[in-house]
Amino acid sequence: MLRDRVVAVVFEGGNPRSDIEVQMARVRKGGALDNIAKAVATPEIDGVILSTNYPELGTRAAELGAQIDSTEGEDFHFGRRLHQLVEKFDLENVIYFGGAALPLIRTDDLSGVARQLKDYKNVVVVNNAQSADLTAFTPAWILDHIELPEADNFLGYLLREAGLRRVLIENSARINLDIDTPSDLLVLQRCRGVGPETRRALDSLDLPGTALDDAVDVFSRREQPYPEVALIGRVGPAMMSVINANLPIRLRAFSEERGMKALRREERGEAVSLIGFVIEELGPRRFFEYLGEIVDLAIIDTRVLFAHLQLRPSAPDRFYSDLGMDDRIGDPFIRDFTRAAREAPIPVILGGHSMVYGGLWALLDENGLLGSGIPKVPGKS
């Protein structure tokens, strides 16, 4: 029956200008093509639609079997476009994800999501309770009754608020890693589960190394006293549970502003950070000096700090900060902060949300650090 059809809707687009944005876009396009291929190969998914302003991506996706919705030359609004596609194609059961979302997801994961939509009604299936990268929902006409969001992360929250029963996909590295920052690319380069198009794009990158190898060394230590690791930013409880259950680590986790994008706290200038306040008081250099006295490694989601400071950095400034390339950064605070992190007495990894969640999870998993006879903890987001 037509109403039983499950359709995957993929959005991928942008307007990259700087060299680092172009490299990011290259991998995102590869991830989109691989995920479209996975969706097409999933028996429980009956169709795939790609909405994009990249003509060459549309051509290649069409060759894989996707229908193409071109947004080239248009003023794009996520919620309105999704609503238009639901009406145009008379959709009932929708699996939405961004083209760069979940590059490690497997067809059996997609099968499970599709079955949820076929077996149950009035549900929204998400990979994250606070800020979802994959949102599957039925009935699709529920979009008529919500404020259509500008960004996709807020969709799952709005659908739950509209009355749909929320179902969380079981946590794992592969359903939490997203392609948002250069840090994510450096993690993905180390992962075996990426698709061929993503791998080809990753192999073409020209990015400097970061402290990821040093981080693996710290997490690999088994001697006592156990190494101490600081996780700062939008740290989820599942990530802390995985580390505590699998690794002899003394974890110093400071979690704040989870859901700041989905709840529009960043947009309204309401995001606040105790760590951000401490950095303001001490200055970046003294902050990292002291941090180096109490931990062996720090992994920092800098977007919370930027939001606290009311900064609206350009994409290049954010990305070059993740890579420790302070000489390429225009904003004076972000430049000084990045230089202080690079010159810190301990390894410091900067990034976005994924670096303290899915990216870190994947990094540990790929290096065989989440086994050794110790049970993994799946957790719930």
List the domains of the chain with CATH numbers: 2-169 (3.90.550.10), 211-366 (no CATH)
pLDDT at 323 over 70: yes
Average pLDDT, the chain: 93
Residue whose token pair is 């200038």: 269
Residue 374 pLDDT grade (very low, low, confident, very high; cuts 50, 70, 90): very low
Q: How far is CA 108 from CA 30, 34, 42, 129, 172, in A?
A: 20, 14, 8, 21, 13
| Banded model confidence at residue 299, pLDDT cuts 50, 70, 90 | very high
- Mean pLDDT, to the nearest integer, of 189-216? 94
CA separation for the pair 134, 131 (Å, rounded): 9
Give residue 381's pLDDT: 34
pLDDT bracket for residue 377 (50, 70, 90): very low
Q: Is the pLDDT of residue 115 over 50?
A: yes
- Structure tokens belonging to residue 296: 């062996």
212-240 burial, b for 16+ CB within 10 Å, e for fewer? bebbbebbeeeeeeebbbbbbbbbbebbb
Numbers of helices and strands, H then E, in the chain: 15, 11
Q: Which among 13, 18, 29, 30 has a CA at the least distance from the CA of 72?
A: 13
Stated pTM of the model: 0.92
C-alpha distance across the termini of the chain, in Å: 34
Region of poorest pLDDT, from 218-222, 272-276, 341-345, 373-377 = 373-377
Strand pairing class (297-301; 348-351):
parallel
pLDDT at position 1 is: 47
Query: Roughly what angle, to the nearest 10 degrees, separates helices 284-294 and 332-342?
Result: 30
pLDDT at 373 over 80: no
Secondary element (H or E) of residue 70:
strand 67-70
Among 148-152, 236-240, 262-266, 314-318, the minimum mean pLDDT is found in 262-266
Residues 32 and 123: their CA atoms lie apart, in Å, by 25
